[in-house]
Amino acid sequence: MTSAYIPRHLTQNEVDLEKTISEKDFVEQLKIEQQNKRCVVILAEPGAGKTDLLFSFSKQLDAELHYASILVDEDIPEGNILIVDALDEVSTTDPTRMKSLLGKIFRSNAQLVILSCRATEWEHLSNESHDQNIEFINRTLKPLDYLEIQQFYSDQKYSHSFESFIEVIEQNGLYELIGNPIILKILAKVFNSHEVTNVFESKSRIFEQAVREFASEQSDERSTKYFSLSLEEKIAYIENIFAVLL
């Protein structure tokens, strides 16, 4: 079952979540930003929905979504808008390749560059970019709020009610985690695919089932258009998400 996309909200930083801007309004700002050389960096933890957001941007701005791990070995495409996802996937493997990629990006003729990266990785990468003649605009992807979580759950047509799902999630102290779309999707599927009393008897049992559920996930157009993760990579990925959020 492919989940319907829910438009997101962004903030200027990770602390002040009250000052937000809707995705729709932000895209209108991006269209104006094309008049000046700008680089927008979308920051968030793993699984927060950066790829989905950039995919949505690409549709609204009529631009192609590129993956950093692929673009690092290719020529930068021509165009006024360049959208590149998952810079951190390159930076964690080889710093020299990341420096080369950033150099190519900033030397391109794109007037508007949109990048996504984990916040912790960008702190390091931004130091590599200070000498570039480009203005950076950092925005943090806000976690899903209660109504957005409810909308996502309702769109899936699950057998159990949303209220019963939230009740069990809160009983297990997991509510803060489900603002992350991947965690929400996995826990909702676990909740609706197993005997609740057995799976949700402990956090360790929940996480065990969540890892298994994620390992069986099929890729879709938004998440892995050009590549798919191996079983081992999927397990490592979801375990990393839990580690960051907890």
Average pLDDT by consecutive 10-residue portion of the chain (246 residues)? 81 72 94 79 92 96 95 93 92 77 90 91 70 76 96 93 94 92 91 72 78 68 51 69 62
Position 90 scores a pLDDT of 86
Taking the CB of residue 197, how many other CB atoms lie within 10 A of it?
Answer: 8
Position 1 scores a pLDDT of 45
Position 205 scores a pLDDT of 79
Q: Model's pTM, two decimal places?
A: 0.85
Looking up tokens 């960096």 gives 41
Residues 6+ apart with CB under 8 A from 3: 152, 155, 156, 185
Tell me the three state secondary structure of residue 39.
Answer: strand
CA distance 127 to 42: 16
Position 3 scores a pLDDT of 65
Nearest residue to 165 (alpha-carbon basis) of 142, 190, 148: 190
